Amino acid sequence: MKRIIVTGASGFVAGSVICQAGPEWEVHAFSQKPAPFQREGLIWHQHGPLAELLQPGELERRFREIQPDAVIHIAAIPDIDYCEQHPDVADEVNVNYTIALAEMCRQQKVRMVFTSTDTVFDGNKGHYAETDPPAPVNHYGHTKLRAERAVADRLEDFCIARLAIVMGLRFYGQGNSFLCRLRDTLESGREASVPAEEIRSPVDVVTAGRALLELAGNTFQGIIHLAGNDRLSRLDFSRMIAGRLGYPPERVVAATAADIPGRARRPRDASLDNSTARSALKTPMRGLLDGLELVLSTERMKDER
């Protein structure tokens, strides 16, 4: 059994990783929140504020106790608008925490899988490959790019997994799921306002979790884009999801950035080329509707249990 640390364990993507980790992994979950459940092979490490975790010697102590084979670093402040308004907090969580973990992985020769984002790109081109130069247009994107470079500069055994927008339902907790918000809005009878001009390549949360686990256990080095096979506007894919869930697609209405007060700038077309993932991973990348079916079938299996 290999030991793996998963940071941000109470979050949306980490929930997928933790719940799908097989018996070959002993999962050590790092979170400020208490464990939502218990199972064999899962050790939950609830910690205090990040400043306490980053005190000299604290992370080193935890690494020496756990002796991990790999780290999947997912913890971050993903709220783009919050990061724009609170840059110091975003820097501490998204950059400094990553640097500290990368240092521990370097010192103890531990593999690191770092989750980054499609918003490291400016959105002028779209269909970005791993070799395209990043150029973030908001502070969140800048923090993730700085963290990427910190990982690459310090480590030899690393993978930077840039995630497209992640679509799915929560495995547990209150993670950041746009699908949950969309479903709740439509179920209440209200219209859902979605930016019409933004283009993305959504990846389902089940596939994202499986791919991150595979990357933690293999030898892939460098940057990889975890994205779906479809390149769609947020309006179009939200309407497709609404229709599959049984709601009138026209209840999803177009919005512009100007309609949303305090909204930070987003890249117009942050779609990702997933060719590397499709060739390097056993985990299949999926189109939007195939990914949604996988999400819904996983939800049904949870309900049956």
Q: DSSP labels for 149-194?
A: HHHHHH-SSEEEEEE--EE---SSTT---HHHHHHHHHHTT--EEE
At 225, the pLDDT band (50, 70, 90 cuts) reads very high
Instruction: Determine, yes or no, domain membership for 263.
Output: no
pLDDT score, position 34: 95
Instruction: Determine, yes or no, domain membership for 260.
Output: no
Dihedral of CA 40/53/32/137: which sign?
negative
Q: What is the mean pLDDT of residues 72-81?
A: 96
CB 271 within 8 A of CB 204: no
Domain count, the chain: 1
Instruction: Determine, yes or no, domain membership for 20.
Output: yes
Tens digits of residue pLDDT in 269-305: 999 999 999 999 999 999 999 999 999 999 877 765 5
Among residues 32, 83, 39, the alpha carbon closest in space to that of 265 is found at 83
pLDDT score, position 258: 67
Instruction: Determine, yes or no, domain membership for 251.
Output: no
115 DSSP β-pair partners: 161
- Amino acid found at 180: C
Instruction: Determine, yes or no, domain membership for 235.
Output: no
Range of the domain at 76: 2-176+202-230+272-304
Instruction: Determine, yes or no, domain membership for 265.
Output: no
Res. 165: pLDDT tops 70: yes
pLDDT score, position 77: 95
Phi, psi of 170 (to 5 degrees): -70, 140
pLDDT score, position 303: 64
Among residues 144, 135, 288, 125, the alpha carbon closest in space to that of 203 is found at 288
Residue 19 Rama label (left phi>0; alpha psi -120 to 50; beta): alpha
- Helix, strand, coil % over all residues of the chain, rounded to 5: 45, 20, 40
Tens digits of residue pLDDT in 11-31: 999 999 999 999 999 999 999
Tens digits of residue pLDDT in 119-150: 999 999 999 999 999 999 999 999 999 999 99
Res. 9: pLDDT tops 90: yes
Q: What is the mean pLDDT of residues 56-77?
A: 97
Q: What is the mean pLDDT of residues 38-52?
A: 95
223 DSSP β-pair partners: 160
3 state SS of 76: coil
Residue, of 200 and 301, whose pLDDT is higher = 200
Task: Tell me the CATH number at 110.
Answer: 3.40.50.720
pLDDT score, position 304: 58
3 state SS of 85: helix
List, as own/partner pairs, every contact residues 169-172 make where C-beta atoms lie below 8 angstroms and the sequence separation is at least 24, other chains included: 169/205, 169/295, 169/296, 169/298, 169/299, 170/12, 170/15, 171/15, 171/16, 171/18, 171/19, 171/205, 171/302, 172/15, 172/19, 172/36, 172/37
pLDDT score, position 125: 95
Instruction: Determine, yes or no, domain membership for 118.
Output: yes
pLDDT score, position 301: 73
Instruction: Return the residue matching tokens 């939502």.
Output: 36
Q: What is the mean pLDDT of residues 83-93?
A: 97
3 state SS of 103: helix
Give the whole-number percent of the chain exceeding pLDDT 70: 98
Tens digits of residue pLDDT in 233-261: 999 999 999 999 999 999 999 987 666 77
Res. 99: pLDDT tops 90: yes
Q: What is the DSSP letter of 261?
A: T
At 173, the pLDDT band (50, 70, 90 cuts) reads confident
Instruction: Determine, yes or no, domain membership for 281.
Output: yes
3 state SS of 20: helix
Q: State how far the Cα of 186 lies from the Cα of 21, in Å rounded to an integer.
A: 32
